[in-house]
Amino acid sequence: MRIKIVGTGRAVPALCLTSRGLDERLGLGQGQIEAATGVIERYVCETESQVDLACTAARLALADAGIEPDAVDLIIGGCGVPYQPLPSTAPLVMQRLGLADGSAAAFDVNSTCLGFLTAFETAARMIEAGQSETALVFSAEIASRALPWKEQPEIAALFGDGAAAAVLRRAAPSEGKVLANLMRTYPSAYEACSIGAGGTRFDFHHQPEEFSRHAIFHMDGKELFRVTARHFNGFVGQLLQRAGWRHDEVDLVVPHQASPFALAHMARQTGFAAQKLVDISALYGNQIAASIPFALDIARRQGRVMQGTKVLFLGTSAGVSFGGMALEA
């Protein structure tokens, strides 16, 4: 697909919460949270909403692209957790950006931590099919909600809030292209990473205790590690084969920022040199679906993504799914 990223942007809330601050709040020894997670600090919403973060990131992406909001004819939200169950988040972002009724299509997709890649591919295929000229893709997360601080503080402390967005357009032959997309799902680990409440599984009116008990994020790290260790390296090989790239041809890897330890393990498992990975997890935590586009924006603004750069996006998500995209910028 001949697709070009013409602009990116990112946003975080005002409050930066350090791991030392969490140690004090939780009554733990100094340095305990950072030692357990590898995360030094993360940003946490107090007054900001998920839509506030999304719109800030979107405006920065549009400014980076040199495009006014009314040029956008497609908005796709790829958030792991929505602003509300119904309707989707993208129409509200469209409204807040000042787009007129009927001037664009706006909807969400959900593949949890892989949401940005799914939204990107959906937008790219719609552009390729002539259904859109300028697409805005965003992921915004308030990951700090519903975390298991009592049961699993070392898991809760991995997460941070944030948002990122990208503007996509059709590329000229000498510009960008997507060479491959791939997703594979391993539902044997469906329960390994979940928030059970919020959909139709538990009826709040008839099962309030069950609803409340399942409204907290749960993660089985050992099960996730088992699936990843067994299958992820082969998945990366399949993606590279589809792209027609050799392993050493990849210039930059933009991974989901699961945790500093997870990224170090991924580098060892896949054989990519650490300097090829964009690793921001120690300073921002795991921002769910916003992690990948957030890291992309940082890499672009650092000058690590230039015309012709071979970028490999990689990630894992609840489900459990692996996802990736090979992009020549």
Residues carrying an active site annotation: 113, 256, 286
Specify the 3-state DSSP secondary structure of 317: strand
CB 80 within 8 A of CB 67: no
Residue 230: C-alpha distances to residues 39, 188, 234, 313, 320 (Å): 26, 13, 8, 20, 13
DSSP 253: E
Spatial neighbors of 207 by CB under 8 A, at least 6 apart, are none
**Kind of pairing between the strands at 162-170 and 134-141:** antiparallel
Structure tokens at 236: 């990366």
CA–CA separation, 99 vs 68, rounded Å?
10
Task: Tell me which residue of 104, 49, 74, 120 sits closest to 327, measured CA to CA.
Answer: 120
Amino acid at 11: A
Alpha-carbon span 258 to 272, nearest angstrom:
17
Closest alpha carbon to 157 in 29, 26, 266, 30: 26
